Structure 1
């Protein structure tokens, strides 16, 4: 089962962008606009409530991770109607070598958060939250990520300087992988135990290990030792998508990764990812990523992450330190 998870991580984007530190005084509430990216808040100190959209507020405590889906406004802090309210960008300053500090209140950090963004899965991409399946109303996770990760984040913020943003992003990635591991193991228990996942892992290994193979539902079911109907049903329940959809997303994700990390010709990448040539690969890639492979290679960071970064940049330039 562990090897199956390791294989999945090779095709999933677990690449958080740490963009801000939020300090919220008791009795205050900080509001955030809707982002075209999943927002993740690591609570380093304090407690309060999270409200996403019109959903009821959810309480959280220290060492929680608050997960907010794409395109959802949300607020964090005091739940009382008497709370003072401040937009995140109303009071901001540059902290360290790339992080922005948002403050609600006098500057007291009764609640202290490290905030980041994860790009939303493209139409044809396999994203981190395809497996986490974060609910549309937001999610709060406690007791999964080691305390040492939160302590290291707090230490980086306290001694912010050269390399702080890069270190925070590495720590966020470590925490998110721990979160994924926990969800995977708990999902195994809910889905019938390790034996069931060992069966599916054979299909996963075949898809990821040889994406160019002519995979079909029948061939993958046979590898898993299951009937076609049973395999399709269990696969869809586990991963929230059909086997062939998973194959296509995996091929595109592998192609995208090769575009980002190698200088291989697009023709070679297309064949490696399971396409007959560069033209069908380019058509599928453009449909999923809204740009061709060459354009993606030239600027591979993704519009969703840049959207949150540009928002932060605008606030710093428009509102100097107050």
Structure 2
């Protein structure tokens, strides 16, 4: 690992909270919709696919962990094949939502699902920067494999504090995904490497803390203690996009989360994200997401 990665990983604040057990029997699809947080899926047993809107399908098999970007509409698909992993029953004692789908065939896929939040240096919102799914096969990591064996032991056992222990073990797995992909130079995590630059971090933190603020290239460069041209060049090299383009994407990602949360009217969300009118926000969001804020919030996409 490059030396600059060490302080970044050391200061990450990751929360991984299990919320559901998904069971797919036979050849079927289970629509999971969208959540304002990033979502992880751990395949306890079985094989199939994870289908994510506008992204390449991710193959699923026993022992695979997948981290899905926040706000991504996605489904679990089971191919109906017989379960060769021996099968695992997750007891009702583990207080998680039970979601099931059933189709033709006797095969079964069981997936443990949860929400992920990611912060750094007392700042939330880093999970907004994840744009593509990440996955890890536990056979490639002794750390992840030990954690997963512990998860299986907890979800099939009868000990007190099972859900808390599952949360801690999954936290190790999520961290291991990030660490492996960072070490491999995965372009999907270019922004994580960029956090090592303390000057650029100051500008990024301004955007994460208040994406709707009246930011400009000049004000962000000032926050970073750089000239406009130097800041623009280094920011794009670190985060893969020009500063103002990055800010627009961050605003739309935050808007999607707020819309899915459902507690604020569209006009209020628009104002909080720096738009002078609801119509201006609607145009920007529709261009970014392919549908209006109202449709994004209310549509039933279960056919996806």
Shorter-chain TM-score: which interval?
A: 0.5 to 0.7
Give the 3 Å change call, closer, same or farther, for CA 272–292 of structure 1 in structure 2. Answer: same
Report the secondary structure of 2:45's partner residue: strand
Change (3 A) 1:113 1:39: farther
**1:172 to partner: Cα distance:** 5.3
Count of aligned residue pairs for this structure pair: 237
State the shift of 1:235 in Å.
2.1
Q: How does 1:192-207 map to 2 (within 5 A)?
A: 197-207=197-207
Instruction: Return the match for 1:155 from 134, 153, 162.
Output: 153
Other-structure match for 1:90: 81
Shift of 1:244: 1.4
Partner of 2:232: 232
**Distance in 2, Cα, partners of 1:242 & 1:214:** 17
Q: Which runs of 5+ in 2 are unaligned?
A: 1-7, 17-35, 73-77, 91-97, 116-126
- 1:235 is paired with a residue of what secondary structure? helix
Structure 1 contact 258–269 (Cα < 8 Å) conserved: yes
Q: How far apart are the structure 1 equivalents of 2:176 and 2:88?
A: 29
Structure 2 residue aligned with 1:27:
none
Structure 1 residue ranges without an equivalent (≥5):
24-29, 45-63, 71-86, 119-125, 311-322
Larger relative contact order (CA 8 Å, sep ≥ 6): 1
Higher strand share: 2
Asked if structure 2 preserves the Cα contact closer than 8 Å seen for 1:270 and 1:276, the reply is yes
> Contact 2:255 / 2:269 at 8 angstroms: preserved in 1?
yes
Equivalent-residue separation in structure 1 for 2:266 and 2:101 (angstroms): 38
Whether contact under 8 Å (1:211, 1:251) holds in the other structure is yes
The CA distance in 1 between the partners of 2:248 and 2:282, in whole Å, is 13
The CA RMSD measured in Å over matched residues stands at 5.3
Partner SS state of residue 222, structure 2: helix
Asked whether 1:268 is paired with 2:268, we answer yes
Deviations 1:183-210 (A, max 9, x none): 56997xx99x999521111011111122
Partner of 2:177: 179
2:267/2:278 contact within 8 Å kept = yes
Q: Any idea what the Cα deviations from partners look like across 1:213-268, whole Å, max 9, x if unmatched?
A: 22222321221122333322332232222211210111112222222335222211
**Native 8 Å contact 2:136 2:177 kept in 1:** no
TM-score (norm. length: structure 2): 0.54
String of CA shifts for 1:259-294, please: whole Å, max 9, x gaps: 233522221111111111211111111222233222
TM-score of the pair, normalised by structure 1? 0.52
**Structure 1 residues 32 and 235, CA, compared in 2 at 3 Å: closer, same or farther?**
same
Q: CA deviation digits over 1:52-94, x for unaligned, max 9?
A: xxxxxxxxxxxx7578999xxxxxxxxxxxxxxxx83234799
Deviation string 1:151-172 (CA, Å, 9 cap, x unpaired) is 3432366469xxx99x989975
